[in-house]
Amino acid sequence: MNKNLLLLSIVVPVYNEEEVIEEFNRRLVNTFSKTDIKYEVIYVNDGSNSQTSKILRKIADSAKNIRLIELSRNFGHQIAVTAGLDYSSGEIVVVIDADLQDPPEIILQMIDQWRNGYKVVYGIRRNRKENIFKRMAYYSFYRLLQNFSKVYIPPDSGDFSLMDRQVVNMLVAMPERNRFVRGLRSWVGFKQIGIEYDRDERFAGKSKYSLSKLFLLASDGVVNFSITPINMISNIGLFLFVSSILAAIFLIIWRISNFKILGHMPSDVQGFTTLAVLLLFFSGVQLLSVGIIGQYIGRIYDESKQRPKYIVENELGFSKSKNNLIFGDQRGAQEVKTSGEIL
Ligand code: UDP
Ligand code: MG
């Protein structure tokens, strides 16, 4: 591989990061200033407030290799990453958060591993500097996912990663809308390796992941990558079905023979409590099951609508700027891209 041809795209999803983004850009640019790596930075403005948007435009104006995609509203982190991947043209692509929790300097180590032949190099968080509740939630989520999913999704790896063009092209070609990028990244296979790093605290600002957004991400992770929840329902259902038949046979025999159990005859009017409890229990199980099935149906519904994944309002700094409104899918469906010289 000719070193000078190496073109790295760095995809940075940004949502209301006015306190961090300039510092982030400085550290990122600094990281590469001592190298001869040719790179582009693609900021994806995921419907941020005007302050962040203004700063991003300024940053994009400051250098030719810094580009900006502005989405027409907040589409969420995973979709913003997807948009960035669609627009990337580097031989390798790095996805990194804008809040400096993922140190940009690690990218150089990732590139070394790529030179060693790995197609995906993902960051593994050695320790998290987040509150205990969030840490516990993450811990259980990744273990649950590992048990459920047939695809090996490395625990404690986030979206911070380097991907070879071949992998990126696969991701870009995937039409699904409920995206769990780190899962898809594992699903494609190829030679993958993790690099451990300390996940810093946010440089400034608050996490843009609310509890509900995190929950949605987690359920995308589980439901998109396994049918274990459906199998569990079937198993519980089978168990309940068999036990209720046994119970029914017993009750009928009891009624007919009218023998005493613990001093009770079936003809005594009793057992309202039991019935009520049973009724509640079974309707609970049923509702839960219907809920889980609903998760899948909801996703089938989403996918079947074939909506664009995102809508780009503006593109800044790209050489082949087209019309103002570009649907993500049209861009994604383009010919397989090769490493273009666009600097
Ligand atoms: N982000 C985004 N859209 C969103 C939420 C977050 O583009 O709807 C970006 C955010 O600006 C940051 C990255 O995704 O660069 C990760 O978000 P955050 O740091 O809030 O997540 P956490 O690190 O707390 O999991
Ligand atoms: Mg963060």
Ligand whose nearest atom lies closest to the CA of 43: 1
Average pLDDT over residues 75-88: 93
Q: In this model, does residue 153 exceed pLDDT 60?
A: yes
Average pLDDT over residues 17-33: 93
Q: Give yes or no for residue 208 CB within 6 A of ligand 1.
A: yes
What is the DSSP code string of 18-83?
A: TTTHHHHHHHHHHHHHTS--EEEEEEEE-S--HHHHHHHHHHHHH-TTEEEEEESS---HHHHHHH
Average pLDDT over residues 17-45: 93
- At 340, the pLDDT band (50, 70, 90 cuts) reads very low
Q: Give yes or no for residue 13 CB within 6 A of ligand 1.
A: yes
In this structure, of 45-59, 86-100, 235-249, 265-279, the range with the lowest mean pLDDT score is 265-279
How much is the pLDDT for 325? 46
How much is the pLDDT for 318? 84
Query: Are residues 69 and 84 in contact, defined by beta-carbon separation less than 8 angstroms?
Result: yes
Q: In this model, does residue 320 exceed pLDDT 90?
A: no
How much is the pLDDT for 301? 72
User: What is the CA(180)–ligand 1 centre distance, in A?
Assistant: 14
- At 336, the pLDDT band (50, 70, 90 cuts) reads very low
User: What is the CA(102)–ligand 2 centre distance, in A?
Assistant: 8
In this structure, of 16-30, 31-45, 197-211, 227-241, the range with the lowest mean pLDDT score is 227-241
Domain boundaries, the chain: 7-226+307-333, 228-304
User: What is the CA(123)–ligand 2 centre distance, in A?
Assistant: 14
Percentage of the chain beyond pLDDT 70 is 85
Q: Which atom of ligand 1 is nearest to the CA of 101?
A: 23
Residues paired with residue 12 on neighbouring β-strands, in sequence order:
43
Average pLDDT over residues 59-63: 92
- Name the residue type at position 188: V
Query: Are residues 73 and 39 in contact, defined by beta-carbon separation less than 8 angstroms?
Result: no
How much is the pLDDT for 10? 96
How long is the chain? 343
Nearest CA to ligand 1 atom 22: 207
User: What is the CA(179)–ligand 1 centre distance, in A?
Assistant: 15
* DSSP code for 16: S
Return the top range by mean pLDDT from 137-146, 221-230, 279-288. Answer: 137-146
- Structure tokens of 189? 């296979």
How much is the pLDDT for 324? 43
Instruction: Name the average pLDDT for the chain.
Output: 80
Which residue among 97, 131, 133, 181 is best mutated to probe the pocket of ligand 1, counting the most ligand atoms within 8 A of its Cβ? 97
Neighbouring residues of the ion ligand 2, judged by CB less than 5 Å:
97, 99, 101
- At 134, the pLDDT band (50, 70, 90 cuts) reads confident
User: What is the CA(98)–ligand 1 centre distance, in A?
Assistant: 8
Which residue among 11, 12, 14, 15 is best mutated to probe the pocket of ligand 1, counting the most ligand atoms within 8 A of its Cβ? 15
Please compute, for residue 150, the number of CA atoms within 13 A of its CA located in the half-sphere on the CB side: 6
Residue 102's SS3 state is coil
Q: Give yes or no for residue 18 CB within 6 A of ligand 1.
A: no
Topology of domain 7-226+307-333 in CATH is: Spore Coat Polysaccharide Biosynthesis Protein SpsA; Chain A (3.90.550)
Q: Give yes or no for residue 159 CB within 6 A of ligand 1.
A: no
- At 342, the pLDDT band (50, 70, 90 cuts) reads very low
What are the tens digits of pLDDT across the range 33-44? 888 889 999 999
Q: In this model, does residue 341 exceed pLDDT 50?
A: no
How much is the pLDDT for 294? 76
Q: Give yes or no for residue 97 CB within 6 A of ligand 1.
A: yes
Question: What is the helix (H) or strand (E) element at residue 11, kind and residue range?
Answer: strand 7-14
78/209 Cα distance (integer angstroms): 11
Beta strands in 88-216 (DSSP E): 92-95, 120-128, 157-164, 192-199
- Residue 279 has phi, psi (to 5 degrees) of -60, -45
Ligand whose nearest atom lies closest to the CA of 46: 1
- Residue 197 has phi, psi (to 5 degrees) of -150, 160
Average pLDDT over residues 84-106: 93
Q: In this model, does residue 209 exceed pLDDT 50?
A: yes
Q: Give yes or no for residue 229 CB within 6 A of ligand 1.
A: no
